[in-house]
A and B are shown apart, each in its own frame.
Chain A
Amino acid sequence: MTSHSQPQSVWSRYIFSVDHKVIAIQYIALGLIMSVIGSYMSYVIRMKLAWPADPVVGFGDLAASQYNMLVTMHGTIMVFWVAMPILVAGFGNYLIPLMVGTDDMAFPTLNMLSVWTFILSTVVLLISLFVPGGAAAAGWTSYPPLAADPRFSGVDLGITLWILAVALEFVAFLMGGVNFITTSINRRAPGMSMWDLPLFVWEEIMASIIFMLSVGPLVAGAVMLLLDHNFGTGFYDTAQGGDPLLFQHLFWFFGHPEVYVLLLPALGILAEVITSCSRKALFGYKMVVWSTIIAGLLSFIVWAHHQFISGIDPRLAFPFSLTTILISVPFAVTIFAFIATLWGGSIRMTPAMAAAVLMLATFLLGGCTGIILGSAAADIYMHDTMFVVAHFHYTMVPIVIFAPMAGFYHYFPKMFGKPLDGPLAWLHLVGTGIFFNLCFLAIFPLGFMGHQRRISDPTQFGYIDGGESLQILATIGAIGALVSQIPLAINIVKSLLSDRKADSNPWKSTTLDWQTPSPPPHGNFATTPTVYRGPYFYSPPGIEADYLPQNLPQVDAPSDQVQASVSEPKTIPA
């Protein structure tokens, strides 16, 4: 056997590390830092909308052009620099090698290259905030002609750097995606078939495939936008024979699948938390996997529902409405499978489980409001209003914030070997849940009133005059949700400074990631685990222990052998 010697120097151990666990924590830490910046921007946006005439406390006077910049950068940062690194790269990097029972990613050096490309992209994006003319202000979608000609958005270098940063970020996640897929396919522990993979790994595989196959056209499209913006080519310029609609197609051919790139890992985290905390096998495991694959295929043919009023051929609206509503079916299957898993389970209401339930409840509302926007006829009225903003946040906040919270509370003891404080976690989750709903429930009716998005001063339009109280309510909700994150920060710092030790398998989970010490050492497993069964053997009949880890030898093995492998020995009935 080989011994895993950990690199000794601080540089190779924590900075230029090839260990998937260190890289995962680098991704998550960077995502958390960027989330502070993105949240601060959302605070300024909400303050401006509630009290448009007053300077924003903690920012000062906010011009309309700066408002555009904040909206653009808030969206960009939250989707590409918070959601992607935390959900996809962070949790994916940490959990995939542990869950498939291997020592590291298939290509550790490529993995390190991925995180450093991402760090470079972050630096470029942050620099763009401080260049002359300011950061990109053409919306997170950067549609031409607004983004293609500096005269239109008033931003020149900012948009160039924005495109470069996003392109570098794509490169980082392409490298990560190749690694994720190859590792999951090719480095499974002996005995582990694809149908023995925890659902999280399946979801990460599909998310990586969707990302890799959808981002390509936008990479080409981004190069065209860069050339149009900086050198005056005419890819998107009607005067030169180009067409600005092309960019919308390229953007949304990636942009809509991107929603599922984020959603799938979130559902994967939920599956792990819900099964472990309900002490039940995942309801319809294979059905959920097939649903995920079908949803992945469908995700490539829904994109034009973002363009119902952009001037696309009206004959295209119906098929895209159809596919859009069709894609809710596989996700409904998944959500119902989760609810059926909860049903009759022996629920352990840990903070992770609470966050998972919060995610399910709020995401349901986000999904249902999506049906309204997916129908072309209704969307023509609702398009570009605050209703879209509220719908978007009701889908993305559960995916990007609540699901990682569930994952964070569930896996923190594994990642750092220290437990988190329960009451502080509950304070954090209850506050976040109440204030999030307060904020975005108030924004739905504003959309019905006709409040267009990306408008810094809603009072200049007479027809939304009755909306001030809703605006203030939404702002109170936003501030409350941001303040609710303080207990989380205190909890993390308190736990990391404490001497308390977490159990290696505190939730009594079955998957391989829990069958290692906490935190797992360099190389993860002392010996390569052998897998004997599927991922969710909770409360199996005929066994007193209420779970069977994947690497536990056969149940009919001599009972002393079984006992030795379970951390809490229980007698096995004959």
Chain B
Amino acid sequence: MPVSHATASPVLDYSSTGQPSARVAIWWFIASEIAIFGGAVACYLLYRFEHPEWSEAASHTVQWAGATNTVVLLTSSLLAVLADKAAGAGDGKGAARYLWLAVLGGLVFLGIKTFEYSHEIHAGFTPLSEPHGLFWAFYFLMTGLHAAHVVGGMTAMAIIARGAAKGKHLGRVEVAAIYWHFVDVIWIFLFPLLYLAS
């Protein structure tokens, strides 16, 4: 078995469970991420029950933008699935193409999000505004945290797409796809909690 220590790949390339290590690891990683978002969502829910008047603030979110972004992310997730399918069939070029399209979906999502942020800030809805600054603080915190994960997922997919195009590390495509689904699912929670509960 050829081994290159430059890439620090483990020499004993086996798995006790039969599952690839990266697959085991990504689920544990997602579990820890769920704790982060779960904590933030739990805090928001506790406060939301204390502050029924926040529904007025929530009505100022741009719901069509949020709905569009939901569709964009779901479509992007589908593309990640297609990338995984292509990788499973050994088609590295196809996997890379789908991954780049999924990255494009992330870019569209961030573009719409930027439009929303600027719209809200110009309308005076900021964490320091009266009377519902705390709602907007939660809104910017949770969507901001999510956007950071979108950027992280896009970066991971871009790196893996470059490898996949050369037919390398096709097993990693699945890991990126799982993570991209997770980022999508978080948004599925945030969208109704922040936009629709008004």
Contacts and interface: CB of A to CB of B under 8 A. Distances in A.
Interface in A179-200: 179, 181-182, 185-188, 190, 192
Interface in A327-357: none
A108 B35 contact: no
A223 B145 contact: yes
B43 A250 contact: yes
B145 A220 contact: yes
Contacts of B155: none
Contacts of B8: 18, 108-109, 112
Given A182-B21, A227-B141, A242-B134, A213 B16 contact: no
B38 A216 contact: yes
A107 interface: yes
A224 interface: yes
Interface of A is mostly: helix
A241 B35 contact: no
Contacts of A192: 16
Given A18-B8, A181-B28, A223-B141, A246 B46 contact: yes
Contact of B39 (A227, A233, A250): A250
Interface in B6-34: 8, 10-12, 14-17, 19, 21, 24-25, 28-29, 31-34
B134 A233 contact: yes
Nearest to A18: B8
Contact of B127 (A107, A185, A233): A233
A7 B5 contact: yes
Contacts of A182: 21, 24-25, 28
B40 interface: yes
A491 interface: no
Interface residues of A, number: 53
Contacts of A218: 39
A500 interface: no
Q: How large is the interface on B (under 10, 10 to 19, 20 to 34, 35 or more residues)?
A: 35 or more
Contacts of B128: 231-233
A528 B134 CA distance: 57
Say whether chain B's binding surface is mostly helix, strand, loop, or mixed: helix
B15 A186 contact: yes
A216 B43 contact: no
Interface in B111-161: 127-128, 132-134, 137, 141, 145
Nearest to A192: B16
B191 interface: no
Given A103-B12, A106-B10, A233 B28 contact: no
B11 A213 contact: no
Contact of B32 (A103, A174, A246): A174
B134 A185 contact: no
B185 interface: no
A555 B46 CA distance: 61
A106 B43 contact: no
A4 B11 contact: yes
A178 B24 CA distance: 9
A460 interface: no
The 4 closest A-B pairs by CB, nearest first: A217-B39, A216-B35, A216-B36, A220-B40
Interface of B: 1-3, 5, 8, 10-12, 14-17, 19, 21, 24-25, 28-29, 31-40, 42-43, 46-47, 50-51, 127-128, 132-134, 137, 141, 145
12 contacts: A177-B28, A181-B28, A187-B12, A187-B15, A212-B32, A221-B43, A227-B141, A231-B127, A235-B134, A242-B47, A523-B11, A528-B12
